[in-house]
Amino acid sequence: FEIKDKFPENFLWGGATAANQLEGAWNRDGKGPSIADVLPSGKDRFVIASGQDFVWQAEAEKYKYPNHRGIEHYDRFKEDIKLFAEMGFKCYRFSIAWSRIFPNGDEAIPNEKGLEFYDKLIDECLKYDIQPVITISHYEMPLKLAKDYGGWKNRKLIGFYENFARVVLKKYQKKVRYWMTFNEINSAFHFPVMSQGLVPSNGAKDFTNIFQAWHNQFVASALAVKIGHELNEDLQIGCMILYATSYAYDANPVNQMANLKQMQDFNFFCADVQVRGKYPAYTARMLKEYNVDISKLQITKEDIAELAKYTVDYIGFSYYMSMVTEVTRDDQNVVSGNLLGGVANPFLKSSDWGWQIDPMGLRIALNELYDRYQKPLFVVENGLGAKDVVETNGAIHDDYRIDYLSQHIVAMKAAIADGVDLMGYTPWGCIDLVSASTGEMSKRYGFVYVDLDDKGNGTLARSRKDSFYWYQKIIKSNGKVK
Ligand code: BG6
């Protein structure tokens, strides 16, 4: 019964990004358009991304698409990886743009030019002993799969994803040990467009489609685990969920029960299937409450067997904020969030974008997840989206970010002492990139500043913020927060 009072020696300190939010080069070297490429900047983005309206905007001239240019990482990745190495990154989480490898998603043969980019990117990381951590699909499915196949509710997508996963797992299995199958798979509750390619014309409003899409993704994820483990038993293939610790507003049992359901439906449902290998007991209750037409769901015996057999090796999750469940009153203050909003917690402060900052919530999340699954955990996203000011001498004093991250590191350390098996930490947007929910550049998360504004003006020059030097020390000292 020895208390672990420090981070493990092999702890994976690093940072996280996603292809569509930083690469740019959206139509170069054979890349096809992805779902992220048709999300405009401005207020329409949120409306579209959350599936309330969609007119295949890539065809509409009036919009600006920030993901098309990203931060031009496609051309500057060497400079960026060098900066990560300077901070001492042990790992770097990024995603492979599906539409770079299979431009339309339904081809049989991969686009070699697309693979060449990831060959170079991976080798660049390895040059500095940075372990790549790859998300196979991060909100960037080929557009054609949404447009012509109706998104993930179509079973054919399982086969298309399987081809994609096989190509990248096979090609990189000797160089990349850590993988995740789908980014924030549970986010379909709020963002069915980005995570499932479900738009209103594909039936995004009907939970029957969302559940069918989830089922297909679960099977696809299981097949990726199967392929990966058959190729190389050393590979670690995880799921990835969006976790928002949720509190009942008060001791009213009605709120407590509602919160328990919120935890099951939002935080646990997908991970329960991917980690435990079967649908949890409360699935029937959930299907009923979301008016799912069970007679329409296509779930085969073979699917069930595959889910049971090919469960994930670890749980990756994002953690930014916590939530409050209150169902007995309608006069509460509300807060926003990119995917989640709800009742304000009077004990917490919010970021400029209304996300409630709650480091203790991370310690709680780690305990809840570890109690439930007893599998290694990996915090693969965490961070503060904030507006940074560049001083006349070029310095960026982002003490608010240092403060946010410090508190979350302290919380992780406490969770390790609580007995949690934690593998690593990759704060989100280690270099400033395009915001997923708003398309803004001004919502910055990085240790590295990128000179680019919301209108697309700027030199794209990279510079080091104060948090860059702070994180360098954190990594060097293996997590010592002063
Ligand atoms: C997560 C996503 O939900 O949050 C990322 O996996 C996203 O893609 C991140 O960028 C932060 O959200 P936002 O909307 O501030 O970019």
Catalytic residue among 124, 306, 326, 381: 381
- Ligand 1 atom closest to Cα of residue 429: 10
Distance CA 341, CA 333 (A): 11
Look at residue 191 in the predicted model and tell me its pLDDT.
Answer: 85
> CB-based contacts of 322: which residues, under 8 Å, 6+ apart?
244, 245, 246, 247, 345, 348, 356, 358, 361, 364
Q: Does the C-beta of 183 come closer than 6 Å to ligand 1?
A: yes
Instruction: Calculate the dihedral angle through the C-alpha atoms of 29, 35, 40, 46, rounding to the nearest 10 degrees.
Output: -150
Domain positions in the chain are 12-476
Q: Which band of pLDDT confidence, cut at 50, 70 and 90, is reported for residue 350?
A: confident
Q: Which band of pLDDT confidence, cut at 50, 70 and 90, is reported for residue 41?
A: confident
Q: Which band of pLDDT confidence, cut at 50, 70 and 90, is reported for residue 338?
A: very low
> CB-based contacts of 392: which residues, under 8 Å, 6+ apart?
none
Read off the pLDDT of residues 47-100 as tens digits, 9 standing for 90 and up. Answer: 776 666 555 555 555 668 899 999 999 999 999 999 999 999 999 999 999 999
> CB-based contacts of 62: which residues, under 8 Å, 6+ apart?
none
Q: What percent of the chain stands above pLDDT 90? A: 84
Q: Which band of pLDDT confidence, cut at 50, 70 and 90, is reported for residue 168?
A: very high
- Ligand 1 atom closest to Cα of residue 436: 16
Q: Does the C-beta of 385 come closer than 6 Å to ligand 1?
A: yes
Burial class (CB in 10 A: 0-12, 13-18, 19+), 226: middle
Q: Does the C-beta of 77 come closer than 6 Å to ligand 1?
A: no
Cβ–Cβ under 8 Å, residues 115 and 30 = no
In CATH, 12-476 is 2.60.40.10: no
Distance 242 CA to ligand 1 centre (A): 10
SS (H, E, C) the chain: CCCCCCCCCCCEEEEECCHHHHCCCCCCCCCCCEHHHHCCCCHHHHHHHCCCCCCCHHHCCCCCCHHHCCCCHHHHHHHHHHHHHHHCCCEEEEECCHHHHCCCCCCCCCCHHHHHHHHHHHHHHHHCCCEEEEEEECCCCEHHHHHCCCHHHCCHHHHHHHHHHHHHHHHHCCCCCEEEEECCHHHHHCCHHHHHCCCHHHCCCCHHHHHHHHHHHHHHHHHHHHHHHHHCCCCEEEEEEECCCEEECCCCHHHHHHHHHHHHHHHHHHHHHHHHCCCCCCHHHHHHHCCCCHHHCCCCHHHHHHHHHCCCCEEEEECCCCEEECCCCCCCCEECCCCCCEECCCCCEECCCCCEECHHHHHHHHHHHHHHHCCCEEEEECCCCECCCCCCCCCCCCHHHHHHHHHHHHHHHHHHHCCCCEEEECCECCECCCCCCCCCCCCECCCEEECCCCCCCCCCCEEECHHHHHHHHHHHCCCCCC
Distance CA 223, CA 228 (A): 8
ipTM rounded to 2 decimals: 0.99
Q: Which band of pLDDT confidence, cut at 50, 70 and 90, is reported for residue 233?
A: very high
- Ligand 1 atom closest to Cα of residue 139: 8
Average pLDDT over residues 276-300: 97
Look at residue 190 in the predicted model and tell me its pLDDT.
Answer: 83
